[in-house]
Amino acid sequence: MARIIPPEERQFALVLALLATEQGLTKEQILSTVDGYHQKYVPGGDNANLERQFERDKDTLRELGVPLETVDAPGQAGNNQLQSYRVSKGDYELPDDISFTPTELSLLQLAGTVWREGSLSGDMRRAMIKLQAAGVEPDGPMLGYAPRLKQLEPAFGPLTQAIERHEAVRFPYLRPGRVVARTHMIKPLTVFQFRGRWLLMGLDFADHRLNFLLSRIVGDVTATRERFEPPAGDHAAEALSELEKLWGRQTATVSVEPGSDAAMRLGKRYGATTADERVLVVHYSDLALLADELASYGPEVLVIEPDSLKQAVISRLESTEFVHRATESGAA
């Protein structure tokens, strides 16, 4: 049985491949050579699901800060079959004004030695050979580029193992606004990423489809002896499609302090629009997550609508104030 390539490993392999060449790689070169894609690639066949996976990976990398660029072929503007993709090394490398002490340089050189052996796995080396055979020569050494992907949630590993084995799992899940976690028994179908966050999509034992944020799983994921036959279909694509629709129809209007951290970060959110320098309209799929973020900006942001979001932010700020007052009283 072929090894299942985790999404973060596939995305890292994609970054390394795109860093290896200045002119970029076409979609066909990526799908047929890069680890995590080429295992499923059908030469001359139907690769629609694989292309959708690549599109999701592109969005994920951009949200995580990887400067992925699209370059049109000469005289073929807009032809996505001939477009090439690359990662700008200048935007990905450390700025020139950053320097290190001799001790720091020694530690970095030691780490680089380890990275030299670890960053190019056997699969990646074979992918480089395939690219060279296709006429794509790596531009410079493939060293020193650490993946800037977010650390995985602790539940990720046990869930992916259970998905591979078709085993039901049990885990404690803490929903927003509650202080006690509830234990769920779920048949896991897929772990996927949406807007930079990891989610589980699975079935309960009435076969209702449910999504869970991995960050809200607050204890161990325990595999049970309960086996199940997963339904057919691209479960990640289905879950992403539903969340995209939810994200598309839910918007919040906020007022931000110009030049503030809130203005910069919210203004760069995917799909955000500006009414003027103070008013932003942002999309969201999870009201509690957006309320957490907005509350963290303090006086730099004010929610205009919807009212449910406004009340959620106020509740978080009041809780923070209560904790601070209680702490100050205890210290006194």
Average pLDDT on 166-180 reads 91
Share of the chain above pLDDT 90, in %: 30
Reported CATH class of domain 156-234: mainly beta
Residue 196 is inside which H or E element, if any?
none
What is the per-residue pLDDT across 93-126, written as a single tens digit (0 to 9) for each? 555 566 666 555 555 555 544 444 444 444 454 5
Q: Around Cβ 88, how many Cβ atoms within 10 Å?
A: 14
**CATH 1.10.10 residue spans of the chain:** 7-133
What is the per-residue pLDDT across 182-235, written as a single tens digit (0 to 9) for each? 999 999 999 888 887 889 999 998 999 999 999 999 999 999 989 999 998 888
CA distances from residue 4 to 1, 8, 58, 76, 160 in whole angstroms, order as listed: 9, 12, 20, 36, 9
Q: How many residues does the chain have?
A: 332
84-88, 92-96, 172-176, 222-226: least confident range: 92-96
Q: Could you report how far apart the first and last alpha carbons of the chain are, in Å? A: 64
- In DSSP terms, 283 is beta-bridged to 251
Q: What is the pLDDT of residue 100?
A: 60
User: Which residue is listed with tokens 């380890």?
Assistant: 114
Residue 210 is inside which H or E element, if any?
strand 209-213
- Separation of alpha carbons 64 and 43, rounded Å: 31
* CA neighbor of 274 nearest in space, from 249, 255, 246, 298: 255
146 conformational bin, left if phi > 0, alpha if psi -120 to 50, beta if neither: beta
- Separation of alpha carbons 186 and 224, rounded Å: 10
At 159, list the tokens.
Answer: 């869930």
Per-residue confidence band for 142, with pLDDT thresholds at 50, 70 and 90: very low
- Asked if the model's pLDDT at residue 176 lies above 80, the reply is yes
- In DSSP terms, 201 is beta-bridged to 190, 211
List Cβ neighbours of 266 (8 Å cut-off, separation of 6 or more): 254, 256, 272, 280, 282, 301
**CATH 2.30.30.520 residue spans of the chain:** 156-234
Q: CB–CB of 253/279 below 8 Å? A: yes
Share of the chain above pLDDT 70, in %: 74
Q: CB–CB of 122/163 below 8 Å? A: no
- What is the CATH number that goes with domain 7-133? 1.10.10
Average pLDDT, whole number, for the chain?
Answer: 79
User: Which residue is listed with tokens 């074979």?
Assistant: 126
